[in-house]
Amino acid sequence: MTIKVHEKLLLTGAAGGLGKALRERLKVNCSVLRLSDVQAFGEAAAGEEVVLADLADAAAVNDMVKGVDAIIHLGGISVEGPFSPIFQANILGVYNLYEAARKYGVKRVVFASSNHVTGFYRQDQTITAEHPARPDGLYGLSKAFGEDLSRFYFDRYGIETACIRIGSSFPEPKDRRMLATWLSFDDLHRLITACLTTPVLGHSIVFGMSANAVTWWDNSRARHIGYVPQDSSDVFRDAVYARTPAPDLNDPAVQFQGGGFVRAGPFE
């Protein structure tokens, strides 16, 4: 049973893949779920509010945040690409979000960071949240900025944040890399719930992964959050091996944790 510690939650990026997966799940965490994205994605259902906002528009973000008790921030660009749109959505956008949280007294944020913050560590390494960032591209760089910004807003203004370095959250792993990075939708909800309800969150970095046998990430520094994954990529291992070729160990996408992101670009 989930304890509702917040009356009204804001979910940004509600029209995206993870936003759609969480829309119904998060209703058990609050009385009212406010949903936001940059473009229209339908009408609000019972127990919902819909507020459209461009993250780069500070006034729109203020309206989006006003009146909520906590924020689950999935909004922004989630793939590698040219810098200008990433800057607008992921850098200026996250600044606008935290400024609005400060103005309106929101004290807890769950920030969707990314495994691409550390994508240039090798796949034969196991890292903790205390390892320095090694972004594998402009997208990963923008998420590293978001982590630093959220730490500043915790140190200066006391806004608690969980930075979830999401691995690969899909219905099932698509390839061999995802056997290490997979995060089920239900485990993502369990993790967000833990971040919303742990008594003292502080500023925490946690790797978003299920209970996979093979992993590159040590989550022990986030035990105070209380996240216990229930799913595992292991049940998909035989099927993934059967449909995918053996890895080329000379391929940077196989050598580094960021996979194909390490060789994306440059962008004209």
Separation between Cα atoms, residue 21 and residue 30, nearest integer Å: 16
- Identify which of 141, 54, 127, 124 has the alpha carbon closest to the alpha carbon of residue 89: 54
Separation between Cα atoms, residue 124 and residue 256, nearest integer Å: 8
**Token pair recorded at residue 170:** 């899909």
Question: Residue 78: what pLDDT?
Answer: 96
Beta bridge partners, 228, equal none
- CATH 3.30.1300.10 matches 8-263: no
Residue listed under structure tokens 């792993």:
173
Cis ω on the peptide bond leading into residue 245 (within 30° of 0)? no
Strand order across the 160-166 sheet: 48-50, 32-36, 8-12, 70-73, 108-114, 160-166, 203-208
**Token pair recorded at residue 114:** 């990314």
Say whether 241 is catalytic.
no
pLDDT tens for the 268 residues of the chain, in order: 678 999 999 999 999 999 999 999 999 999 999 999 999 999 999 999 999 999 999 999 999 999 999 999 999 999 999 999 999 999 999 999 999 999 999 999 999 999 999 999 999 999 999 999 999 999 999 999 999 999 999 999 999 999 999 999 999 999 999 999 999 999 999 999 999 999 999 999 999 999 999 999 999 999 999 999 999 999 999 999 999 999 999 999 999 999 999 999 888 6
Residue from 95, 98, 121, 139 carrying the catalytic annotation: 139
Question: Residue 65: what pLDDT?
Answer: 98
Q: DSSP characters for 22-78? A: HHTGGGGG-SEEEEE-SS------TTEEE----TT-HHHHHHHHTT-SEEEE--S--
What is the widest separation between alpha-carbon atoms in the chain? 53
Which sequence spans correspond to the domains of the chain? 8-263
Q: DSSP characters for 157-193? A: H--EEEEEEE-B-SSS--SSTHHHHB--HHHHHHHHH
Residues 6+ apart with CB under 8 A from 198: 224, 225, 226
